[in-house]
Amino acid sequence: MAGTASLVLAIFMYGFRSKLPLKLRWSIGVLRFLTVFGVLLLLINPKFRSEIISIEKPNLPILLDNSASVPELGQESNLSDVLSQLKTHEQLNEIFDISYYTFGRQVTEGDSLTFAEKNTDISSALATLGEVYKNNIAPVVLISDGNQTLGQDYEFTSPGLNQPIFPVVLGDSTQYTDLQISRLNTNRYAFLKNQFPVEVLLSYSGNENVNSQFTVKQNNTIVYSQSLQFTSEENTKTVLFTLPATSVGLQKYVATISPLPQEKNKTNNSKRFAVEVIDQATNVLIVSKLMHPDLGALKKAITTNEQRTVRLAKPSDIDLDFNDYQLVILYQPEGSFGSIFSELEKRRSNLWIVTGTETDWTFLSRAQPWFKKETTRQTEEVQAQLNNNFNSFSVVSLGFNELPPLTTTFGELLIGAPHEIILEQTVSRFTTGSALVATTDIDERRTAIWDGEGIWKWRAASFLNTDSFQDFDAFIGQLVQYLSSKKQRSRLEVANESFYYNNNAVTVSAQYFDKNFEFDSGASVQITITNEETNKKTVFPLLLKNNFYEVDLNSLPAGEYRFTVSVADEGISRSGNFSILEYNVEQQFLNADIEKLRRTAERTKGELFFPAEIDALISTLLDDERFVSIQKSEVKVVPLIDWKYLLAFIVLTLSLEWFMRKYNGLI
């Protein structure tokens, strides 16, 4: 129809009535026909269907263990041979679309092997492939010793991969006689002059009865020792003991179980660990005009921790130097405390106010801005209920609602500042809406109110309930620790551990604030690391991560380091030091975990192979009917208006017609 209309129009314009020469009429008429025909085709816009047939090969991801345990088991050559056979097998590469991945802590695409990874996370590697190939046919060849040091148990998480797994075992199943430290647990921090616990799990593999000596040394001095006996049945021992924290700073230890003469791997017989000993010496001043049993109870509870000292003083004492104290407790203040409040306000000292029946609330409401009470001097007995939403520090629960009532003056306690309530007042089991114990933290100054006397009753009741003052003293100790700390705000805040194990992440982070103390995300922050032994300096940039800067220092070898974090062009820096302790968890294995790999293969409907059986693995993959190429047919519908060449053709015919008419003087 479009052709007919175009032809009719061309004949009408350049047909028999035209006075142009015949040859010119034919030329211009043909061009006009083609132009009109092209325009009409665009208006009609017919659609064309095209079918594209493609062959999609099954994927074959190959996971290569790049951890340090491979060379420890002497399997580097086996892994290289297996990799070479897979790469050079023509039919396998023709049938499958093969991809190579290495893994340790994380998965990396490629087949470059360094065996430098200090941790192995097989479950994470399998999960990553599960995401990549979740909509494809992709059997996984896992070339590994099966020993995992991080992550979830891959035996139970691997079914989520939804792909069959074909493990190739690096290592043998020979059982060697071995004693090892399987696990060592201790606190990272301890307080000076306290004891800190250590838990060590020892294991033995062998058939004979053996004796060994477990020791812990500090600077070649034995600080703990115990003789142990193992049998084939009693092959694990848990050793629990405590060590004294006698010196401030990083204390390093080496735990060792004496190796047996026939042991093959003696690396796993020792483990280094460290504890940061903190001196939390705190001087507390209690000022009171009264003689009251509460004072003795507070002093006893506070000084249970040997790092804390308490001085009792009267407001009239003239030798008080408040700079010597991290916390001042004012017991039932009244008019004679005026100069003390003025001095504490001037020094912005942390403060704990204990009130009771002898407190002058008229004076107290004027002397400080936080706590006020309109009272009639009548008294009432109140009990306590723990506020479960308090989160400034962990509260030791004493069963507060069962403790004897405290005595306070009748009236509502008003707190004129942002605060957190630790204990709420209750009368006959109903809350009164007033706080019994509350804290404030304003402009780096911490204060607390304890509105009730009779604290000694609580300490006595706690002893009757538990045969120990420990719980009550711990509660008071937590409150004292919170109130006695005073952190100065800095424009550059640096966070680091005092020591790291070199098989874990070694990171230092920092926050930098501008002069308005708003986080500055555009600063240039760097860290200068100096090795204490060699004095070698290395500079690293800190990279921005959300609202902080961070640097990864895992490339540093074990040793002692000092560092300085600085901000370019600002003259602001912070210094510190840390230690990196040598510990290679990948050296703790004697052989491959064949049974776990076998069970993983069975759970995923795969099959286990050894390096000498690669030909069998290849045959299994090629013959398995689950792994076949898929023929895909893709039909495309393309409208003519999308064909740009037709538009160019129309422009060309119009241009030629115009040129011919112009040349012949028709325009």
Distances (CA, A) of 158 to 123, 163, 184: 7, 9, 29
Looking only at the bridges linking them, the beta strands covering 507-512 and 406-409 are unpaired
Domain harbouring 529, CATH code: 2.60.40.10
Say yes or no to pLDDT of 525 above 90: yes
- Helix (H/G/I), strand (E/B), else coil: 241: strand
Residues 363 and 407 in one domain: yes
Helix/strand/coil for 389: coil
Q: Is the pLDDT of residue 487 over 60?
A: no
Comparison of pLDDT for 589 and 162, the residue scoring more: 162
CB atoms within 10 A of CB 397: 10
Give pLDDT, residue 333.
93
Q: Are residue 480 and residue 551 in the same domain, yes or no?
A: no
Angle at which helix 2-14 crosses helix 22-44, to 10 degrees, equals 150
- pLDDT, residue 173, reads 66
Q: Within this chain, do residues 578 and 598 fall inside the same structural domain, yes or no? A: no
Interatomic CA distance for residues 116 and 68, integer angstroms: 5
Looking at the fold, whether 168 and 74 belong to one and the same domain comes out as: yes
Whether residue 315 sits in one domain with residue 267: no
pLDDT confidence of residue 353: 94
State the Cα–Cα distance between residues 534 and 524, nearest whole angstrom.
Answer: 27
Domain boundary among the residues 234, 250, 278 is at: 278
The whole-angstrom separation of Cα 351 and Cα 484 is 8
Same domain membership, residue 643 and residue 617: no
- Pairing label, strands 140-144, 59-65: parallel
pLDDT score, position 405: 92
Residues ≥6 apart with Cβ < 8 Å to 294: 331, 354, 356, 453, 454, 455, 456
Q: What is the pLDDT of residue 539?
A: 93
Please give the residue range of the domain that contains residue 419.
282-484
Total domains present in the chain:
5
- Whole-number pLDDT of residue 174: 67
For range 496-502, the mean pLDDT: 78
Residue at a domain's end among 278, 300, 325:
278
What is the dihedral angle through the alpha carbons of 90, 91, 97, 98, rounded to the nearest 10 degrees?
-60
C-alpha angle 360-438-330 in degrees, rounded to nearest 5 = 40
Q: Are residues 436 and 302 in the same domain?
A: yes
The pLDDT of residue 50 is above 70: no
Both 135 and 203 in a single domain? no
| Residue finishing a domain among 248, 278, 308 | 278
Positive or negative: CA dihedral 40, 44, 45, 51: negative
One domain, residues 497 and 394: no
Q: What is the pLDDT of residues 335-387, one digit of tens each?
A: 899 989 988 888 888 999 999 999 999 899 899 888 998 877 788 999 998 88
154 and 217 co-located in one domain: no
* Residue 442 one-letter amino acid: I
Say yes or no: 90 and 224 in one domain.
no
What pTM value is reported for the model? 0.48
User: Residue 295's pLDDT is what?
Assistant: 94
Q: pLDDT tens-digit profile of 107-130? A: 888 888 888 777 788 888 888 888
Question: How confident is the model over 217-237, as pLDDT tens digits?
Answer: 998 899 999 999 998 888 889
Q: Strand ranges (DSSP E) for 27-144?
A: 47-56, 59-65, 97-103, 107-109, 140-144
Q: Is the pLDDT at 29 greater than 80, yes or no?
A: no
pLDDT > 60? residue 489 = no
Whether 188 shows a pLDDT value over 90: the answer reads no
Give residue-wise pLDDT tens across range 385-397.
888 888 777 777 7
Asked if pLDDT for residue 419 goes beyond 90, the answer is: no
Query: Are 240 and 357 part of one and the same domain?
Result: no
